[in-house]
Every structure is written in structure tokens, then in C-alpha cells.
Amino acid sequence: MWKGRFTQDMNEAVGRFTQSLDLDWRTVQEDIRGSAAHVRMLASVGLLSKDDADEIELALAQIARDAASGTIEPDVRLEDVHMNVESLLTERIGDVGAKLHAGRSRNDQSGTTVRLALRREILTIWDMMRKLLDTLLRKALEHADAIVPGYTHLQQAQPVSMGHFWMAHFEAFLRDARRLLLAYEGADECPLGCGALAGSTLPLDRGFAARDLGFSKICQNSMDAVASRDHIIGFHYFAAMFGVHASRISEDLIIYFTSEFGWVKLPDAFCTGSSMMPQKKNPDVLEILRGKTGQLIGGLVDALTIMKGTPLSFNRDFQEDKRSLWRSCDALKGMLEVMPPLLSEVEVDAAAARRGFADGFIFATDVAEHLVKRGVPFRKSHEITGNAVRWCLENKRALTSLTKDEWRKLAPDAGDELPSLLAPEISAARRDTLGGASPRQARIQAERGRKKLDGLSLEFDEYGKSYPELFA
């Protein structure tokens, strides 16, 4: 395509090194759809006759169908998806096909193709994320009355509703969903018509092409349009944060599933055994989820590093941005395929959770706050409770085993009702402040979360309606 300027053919090694078919052939449908929009626009401004435009579009539609059926074998010598499609077009309809690229560069063409493909990927990922969020809401209601230990520093801290635990992860993934929406909005700008970097001397109608492709916005600066990869980096940021949150919930469940904790039960269908040890039930799916996070974080670092130090406007470095982009998309879809069905079958062993309360020290904060209610300054109540815990440790007693008489000696202001308050269900139920760990609050959070999820779904649904229909 640039043979007019060069006196030598491209070195074969260079051709293999610079090709991007392994990265962009997966976007052949989006590339063809972008070309169809460009053809329609050229016809609308008089740069193509209607007959030529119709012939080109019919041929493009057939190429799309052939690509979908696998009857086309792309030629690596043509470097990328764009040149393969254009070459097939001219082979099939001759010189008319050579009119397709008027007013267009591979820079704005590639940018349009990737944004179309990324929008489609995001909509698919959202559908899967919605199932994950819905699963967490259902688990929160299912386990609202199950009381389990809550931890800080991985040390028992205070009793919490298991529903509260699920809602904690729901809130994190809901923030991720918001980031995914922002990633869609970042990709929802059309660069077609920006050319190589400076626009075109031809009378292009960029608004026509953008509307035809369902973009809600048009890139406003041609240099920025071909140089920016913010939309890709924004998606990677979502993916990295999602990976972190997927890793954290996996880590929680892996720990609580261990024999040492033992109050979470994982479904057999999402665990594996050992080739040597017959007794083993290993949480392999959760471990792989945790491991996938490295790829997602790596994708963000990869994209940022590619962009760092590149001058305006386009640079061939940008070709490599798709390698980690598609890998992250595929990793995310794989993770989201297994997470909802796995989480939906997680059970709580209430008896095992109760065994974790045996020494009663998890109720120490209840004691301190009870004293505050009775007029003791908090720092003093903290000291009194700490002394009571130390006394129990020295005498090998559970905090919940102390009699009223013993409490009168250790905490004179405690009153006779204190022992009756030191029980898991009572302790959790009393944590009823907004956002607290009580069963009632877990249900309130789930109700509020459902409304947030429904609102976010409406926003994504609107974007889904504007996505253009592909040929195949």
C-alpha cells in the first residue's frame, strides 16, 4: 500500500514482526461495520455514487459473513485486519473497492474498530457482572441471620451478619460496575474522519459516521483522537480493580473454608481433589480467580507503559495495546462465568462459626460500649474491659463465663444485665447503625443495593440500544 514511496520490498522478518493479525482479526466484524459507515458517509457527501456505495457495502456484508463462517484465511503479508478486508474487497469488485479508503487512515480506522469492539466487550462483561451482583444480593438476604466472626488483621474482632459480609463485597463490585460504565463512556467517542492526524481536505461528515455507528460523541481533536488510548487505559483500570476485588473475596472464602476456620462450605463442583491425598478438597477455582488478578493488573501497567513517552500523535507502539486488552477481556469473561454459580452455592456452617466465639473475647467491644452507656468514659471502659480480658486469660476462662458477681468485681458499673448481652445474635443485632453489621441492616443494604443495581442496569441498557447491528 506504500510501494510508491519505497524502492525495496519489506524484509520478511520485518513483516512477521510488525503484523498485527494475531491481535486484530478478532475485530473483523467491527472493522467491516466501520467501513460500511464510512462508505455511507462518502455517498452522503457526494464522494461516492450510490451505485458504487451499494456495491461496496454488499461486498463488505458478504466478506463479514465469510469471515464469520471461517471460510476466509487472512493473509499475514497484509499485516492487519484492515488491509486484509480492503484487499478482499478489491479482489471481489475491482477498482470500485479501491475507493473505500478515501478520507480515511488506518489510524482513525483502527481507533474506530477498537472502540466498537471494546464497547461490545463491555456490554457483554456488564451482562455477566450484573449476574454476579445479583448473586451477592441474594446471598446477603439468604445469610442475613447467620452470625459469623468479623476480622481485622485476620484476628477475630466483632460478630457480624454474614449478609453484611456479602454486602461488603457487593459494594466493592458495584464500584467496579460504575468504573465499567465510565470505561464505556470513554470508548463512546468516534474518531472516524480524523485521518492520520490532521483530518482531511475532503468534505467529510463526521457526525454521519458517528451516528451510523451508534457513538454518542465525536472526538473533538484529530491529533488527540489518534494518539489517545485513555479509553483502553480506563477499561484496564476497571479490570485491575475488579481483579483485586475478585481476589479479595476469593481469599476470604479460601481462609474461611480451611479446617482452622471451617465455617464456610464450598460446593464440590467448584473444588478439586489431590492426586496423592484422598482427604483433600481444594478450592482451586477460587485460587485461579485470585491468580488471574495478576494478568489484569499487568494489563493496566502494560497500557500505561506503552503510552508513556510517546510523542503526538500516532506511533506504531500503539499496535501492542490490543494484546493485553483482549487478554484482559477474555480473562474477565472467564472469571465472571464461574463466580456467580460458585458463590450461589456457598453455605455457612453456623455451628462451626459459633465455635469461633468460644472464648467470648469477640464481645469485648460490647462490654466497653455497655459501660459507656452507663456513663463510663470510653478510655476508662476500654481499660476496664482490657483488664477483664487479661484476667480471663490468666485464669483460663471465657469472657462469657463470668458471673454477675465476677463482673461486679471486674467492672463495678457493668450492671446485672451485661452477661445476657454477650451472645452472637444479640451482639450483631445491636450493631444497628446505618451500614452496621446487624441482620436488619444487611437487609436494608440489600434493598438499597437492588435499587442501585436496577438504576445502573437502565444506564447500560440505554447504551446497548445504541450499539449498531453488525453484518454477521
Residues 460 and 416 in one domain: no
Residues 304 and 234 in one domain: yes
Residue with the three cell numbers 440500544:
465
Q: What is the pLDDT of residue 20?
A: 86
Q: Find the CATH number of the domain harbouring 381.
A: 1.10.40.30
DSSP per-residue codes, 180-247: HHHHHHHH-EE-TT-TTTT--SS---HHHHHHHTT-SEE-S-HHHHHH--HHHHHHHHHHHHHHHHHH
Q: Is 432 among the domain residues?
A: no
DSSP state of 280: -
**What are the CA-CA distances from residue 157 to residues 263, 384, 421 (Å)?**
16, 18, 16
- One-letter amino acid at 350 equals A
Q: Is 454 among the domain residues?
A: yes
Residue with the three cell numbers 463482673:
407
Residues 121 and 47 in one domain: no
Residues 398 and 415 in one domain: yes
Of 200, 33, 212, residue with least CA distance to 113: 33
Strand bridging mode 217-218 / 189-190? parallel
Q: Is 215 among the domain residues?
A: no
The catalytic residue positions are 153, 274
Q: Which helix (H) or strand (E) holds 265?
A: strand 264-265
* All residues at 6 or more sequence positions from 419 whose CB lies less than 8 Å from its CB, including other chains: 400, 402, 403, 404, 407
Residues 75 and 49 in one domain: yes
What is the per-residue burial (b if ≥16 Cβ within 10 Å, else e) of 203-215? ebebebbbbbbbb
Q: Is 209 among the domain residues?
A: no
Q: Is 427 among the domain residues?
A: no
Q: Is 216 among the domain residues?
A: no
Q: Find the CATH number of the domain harbouring 235.
A: 1.20.200.10
Residues of the chain with pLDDT under 70: 1-8, 10-11
Q: How many domains are there within the chain?
A: 3
Residue with the three cell numbers 482513525:
108
Q: Give 444-470 as a 3 state SS string.
A: HHHHHHHHHHHHHHHHHHHHHHHCCCC
Strand ranges in 85-163 using DSSP code E only, listed in sequence order: 147-152, 155-161
Residues 262 and 341 in one domain: yes
Domain region containing 333: 108-144+161-181+222-347+444-466
Residues 174 and 261 in one domain: yes
Q: Is 356 among the domain residues?
A: no
Residues 290 and 417 in one domain: no
Q: What does the alpha-carbon distance between residue 219 and residue 223 come to, in Å, rounded to a whole number?
A: 10
What is the pTM (predicted TM-score) of this model?
0.94
Residues 284 and 230 in one domain: yes
Of 259, 305, 298, residue with least CA distance to 282: 259
Q: How large is the angle between the packed helices 284-307 and 230-257, nearest 10 degrees?
A: 160
Residues 313 and 226 in one domain: yes
* All residues at 6 or more sequence positions from 80 whose CB lies less than 8 Å from its CB, including other chains: 19, 20, 21, 24, 106, 110
Q: What does the alpha-carbon distance between residue 103 and residue 328 come to, in Å, rounded to a whole number?
A: 33
Q: What does the alpha-carbon distance between residue 284 and residue 272 come to, in Å, rounded to a whole number?
A: 6
Q: Find the CATH number of the domain harbouring 35.
A: 1.10.275.10
Residues 171 and 266 in one domain: yes
CB atoms within 10 A of CB 45: 13
Measured between alpha carbons, how far apart are the two ends of the chain, in Å? Answer: 27
Strand bridging mode 155-161 / 147-152? antiparallel
Residues 170 and 123 in one domain: yes
Q: Is 132 among the domain residues?
A: yes
Cβ contact 367:411 at 8 Å: yes
* HSE, side-chain direction, 13 A CA sphere, residue 470: 17
